[in-house]
Each structure stands twice: as structure tokens, then as C-alpha cells.
Amino acid sequence: MELIDEAKERCSITWSDSTTDSRITNIVSEATAEMNNLLGSSSASPVDYTADLMARDLLLNLILYKWNEQSEKFRDAYQQEIVECRRQYDVAQYETMLVATTEVSS
């Protein structure tokens, strides 16, 4: 299922019109950028919202909060999950750095 379709489902959007479609598309784009920032992703270790179900669930919940104009409450509600997910990406970035350092010194 496409991310936009999942976002509509999470937000209980059962109709389709150009205003709603445009709004949810913009929210998905904004939420993706915000979640990437919250998770500390980089080009070396990007968030794969298809494979990482925890990150995808966080993203969909952020979209829901944004849809309901309550995004300021998201971080408080999901602080622990954000920290846990971010740790995974911090470790992945560290491992990437170690591999790059090892290759350079070899």
C-alpha cells in the first residue's frame, strides 16, 4: 500500500477531493522531512519507511497528529518510541563510519 493511502487510512479519510488530496500530500511530505530529522537520518543512513515498520508507524502517527492540527503534542506522546528508533539509526551511522574508516586505513 502506498504511503499516501496508508496516511488516508490512518486519518480515517474515506473521501477523495482535490483539496483533501493536496492537504494530505503536503502533510506526508512535511511529516517525512520532520521524522527524518527526529530520527537523525542522513544520506549515509536514510530511513527506509518501507522496511522499518517502527519508523513507518511513527511517521503515520505524526501524519495523523498533523492532520488533526495537533502536531505539537506528537513529540510528548511518542518521545520514547522516537528515542528507541533514533538509536537504531545512530548505531547504523556509527557502523557506516567505522567501515569507511577501516577501508581508508587498509
Quick: pLDDT tens for 16-46.
999 999 999 999 999 999 999 999 887 666 7
Neighbours of 43 (CB within 10 A): 5
Q: Specify whether the CB–CB gap between 25 and 8 falls below 8 A.
A: no
Of 14-18, 52-56, 62-66, 99-103, minimum mean pLDDT range: 99-103
Residue spans of the domains in the chain: they are: 3-105
Report how far residue 70's alpha carbon sits from residue 54's, in angstroms, rounded to the nearest whole number. Answer: 21
* pLDDT, tens digit (0-9, with 9 covering 90-100), for 68-84: 999 999 999 999 999 99
Extract the C-alpha cell encoding 14: 474515506
Stated pTM of the model: 0.85
Report how far residue 14's alpha carbon sits from residue 33's, in angstroms, rounded to the nearest whole number. Answer: 25
